[in-house]
Structure 1
Amino acid sequence: MTAGTPRVVTDGLHFPEGPSHLGDGAVAVVEMQGQRLTRVAADGSRSTLGDLGGGPNGSARGASGAVYVANNGGLSATRTGGYWHAPEPFDGRVQKVAADGTVSTVAVDLPGPAPHRPNDLCFGPDGRLYVTDSHNWENLRDLKPGRIVTVSADGTVRQVAEVPAMPNGIGFGPDGRLYLAQSLTRRILVFDHSPGTGLGDPQVFAKLPAGSPDGFCFDADGNLYVCGSVGHVVVVIGPDGSVRDAIDTPPGAQPTNCCIGDGRLYVTFSMTGELVAYDLGVAAYPLHEGDIG
């Protein structure tokens, strides 16, 4: 695979994360320090889809044009190694941005002790929203286990797994299993999934040779594209768990998350405030969608 130099779709974003392909060359990204969900058109022009407050961290496309957002409440890393704090922080929650721009909260009373820091999310084949809560990830000296929680169509919130070492990116693969980035171990974990019985015990699917796994996406052939944020690389992992390729990103870019659409791999460079596109000629694995709230 030859990635080449990425094309900058737009720049000037305030810590972009969580891209979701909307079709027609448009991509929705959260701006964590901008506290909003932004639509980036194919020509790079931008418009605000919803003002969210806190620290929006990940997004997932839902049914009827809605986009769901994991909001960590108002915390972000910075270029200098410190933390950005929202002017008006709150405990983390899951939000919905409707097609008309209406912002609502679909889950706020999350399981377990605070702080709740929802990180990433995806819809499952059962119509539920699966959300990683990285808990107190900013306190590495006293890091507590994170969680996977689900939000059902009726708004019921339930913890389905406890995961140490910072659970991060999450998504269902073509094999029907649930994949999870465990950032501090550099591992991708995988859970067997059954709509009736929930999640099985996690297994190690792969380990990144460099970088800390953050967000990821699948192509139609089952290859997994994982953003190795602090390693400035996107690692391509085959369906068998072997490393197929590594796409280097510019030093200091910190790739945080990715999605596929229009044959392109879109990647958010958080520290340089860019959404970029690699013209790889790949097709996306179709994502599950749902409707909550």
Structure 2
Amino acid sequence: MTLIRSSAGPNPLRGFQVDRTSIRRIGRELRRPECILAEPDGTLWAADARGGVVRIASDGSQQMICQTPDPHFDLSKSSAHSLLEGTLPNGLAFARNGDFLISNFGTDRLERMTRSGATSVLLDRIDGQPLGKVNFVLRDSRDRIWITVSTMINPWSEAINSTLADGSIVLLDEKGARVVADGFRFTNEIRFDAREEWLYVAETTGKRVTRFRVRPDGSLTDREVFGPSNLGAGVIDGIAFDAYGNLWATMIFSDRLVAITPEGDLLELLDDGDPEATAQFEAAFATGAPVPFDVLLECGGPVCNWLASVTFGGADLSTVYLGGLRATDIPFFRSPVAGLPMVHWRQ
């Protein structure tokens, strides 16, 4: 494994544990706030299962913005019959102009939504075939859009097993859409390092992070595992870099928050899972068969049930927000190290 550069001085995460008594909460009556975006003014945006995003101001006031068909977009060009049929916003990113890029886990496509809710379809097929179970979207500094497809299986719960590897990464740029990497075990969140030299991939059912060197044309090379080949109990979901170079990760179903240091060491920051339920999940997962959904439903902890994502925000990027598939609000706490600014903080 090639090491990555880090800031000078000792790693501020070594020895750090999340103090449960310091955890505060924002938002109310949210539905499946899987992905959270933070803006410099303190505004948060959370994906919501009602079909859109919730805007949460720094004072706690909030507004639900639902997706509506864009009257200027010809939906007949899309394979879907209705824009809102089965909608389930999952991963979010900001377009350069502030619109939302939405990887819709329900409609299986990449969508674009204005801040008033007008929504159009950016991508739902590739090489003439359905895109698959779209999970996450990320925009880079060159305005290219990177999309993860977790699996081609529907329902997605059948893909929660240790043997299936049908996930992929799609790049959408001025040349169009193309698959740039595949063979992943449930492709989930992706992130770039500070220089966008490497792309890091959360392989959920692989229990690991894989990374690629990014070439100028968007092709990916030098595939390798970053950090431990097995991150332990649960399966990895969301990832985010801090400014030191630690890669934070959520382990869903065990509800652990961990970090991989630049040297590849694993740090445990929070363990909020139910030990008995986690053990049942691990036993079922080890069989290689899909984990029964009733086993999944027993998993999770009180801080952020089915812990799925980690986001840095606040004016100094030192506030950590957690997203959960079964959460109804957003827990947050202070970090000893600031997050790595995302592209929308720098533009």
* Interval of TM-score (by shorter of Structure 1 and Structure 2): 0.7 to 0.9
Could you tell me whether the CA contact under 8 Å between 2:91 and 2:103 is conserved in 1? yes
Q: Which has the higher strand share?
A: 1
Q: Distance in 2 between matches of 1:187 and 1:232?
A: 15
CA 170–283 in structure 1, closer or farther in 2 if over 3 Å, else same: same
Counterpart amino acid of 1:64?
A: N
In structure 2, runs of 5+ residues without a counterpart are 1-15, 69-83, 275-299
Counterpart amino acid of 1:181?
A: A
1:143 positional shift? 4.1
Q: Distance in 2 between matches of 1:193 and 1:14?
A: 35
1:259 positional shift? 0.9
Q: Distance in 2 between matches of 1:26 and 1:102?
A: 20
What TM-score comes out, normalization by structure 1 length? 0.84
1:206 positional shift? 2.1
Deviations 1:65-106 (A, max 9, x none): 22211112x2xxxxxxxxxxxxxxx4x111122244332222
Identity among equivalent positions (%) equals: 25
* Corresponding residue number in structure 2 for 1:236: 259
CA 281–146 in structure 1, closer or farther in 2 if over 3 Å, else same: same
Could you tell me whether the CA contact under 8 Å between 1:64 and 1:99 is conserved in 2? no
* Corresponding residue number in structure 2 for 1:37: 53
Counterpart amino acid of 1:65?
A: G
Q: Report SS of the residue matched to 1:63.
A: coil
Equivalent residue runs for 1:185-196 within 5 Å: 185-196=206-217
The structure whose Rg is larger is 2
RMSD of equivalent CA atoms: 2.3
Q: Distance in 1 between matches of 2:157 and 2:126?
A: 19
Q: Which has the higher helix share?
A: 2
* Corresponding residue number in structure 1 for 2:191: 171
* Corresponding residue number in structure 1 for 2:233: 210
CA 14–99 in structure 1, closer or farther in 2 if over 3 Å, else same: closer
Q: Report SS of the residue matched to 2:232.
A: coil
Equivalent residue runs for 1:1-293 within 5 Å: 1-5=16-20, 6-31=23-48, 33-51=49-67, 53=84, 54-72=87-105, 74=106, 90=107, 92-111=108-127, 113-114=129-130, 116-135=132-151, 136=153, 137-140=156-159, 143=164, 145-152=166-173, 154=174, 156-175=176-195, 176-196=197-217, 198-207=219-228, 208-249=231-272, 251=274, 252=300, 253-262=305-314, 263-289=318-344
Q: Report SS of the residue matched to 1:126.
A: coil
- What is the number of equivalent residue pairs in this alignment? 271
CA 211–246 in structure 1, closer or farther in 2 if over 3 Å, else same: farther
Q: Report SS of the residue matched to 2:205.
A: helix
What TM-score comes out, normalization by structure 2 length? 0.72
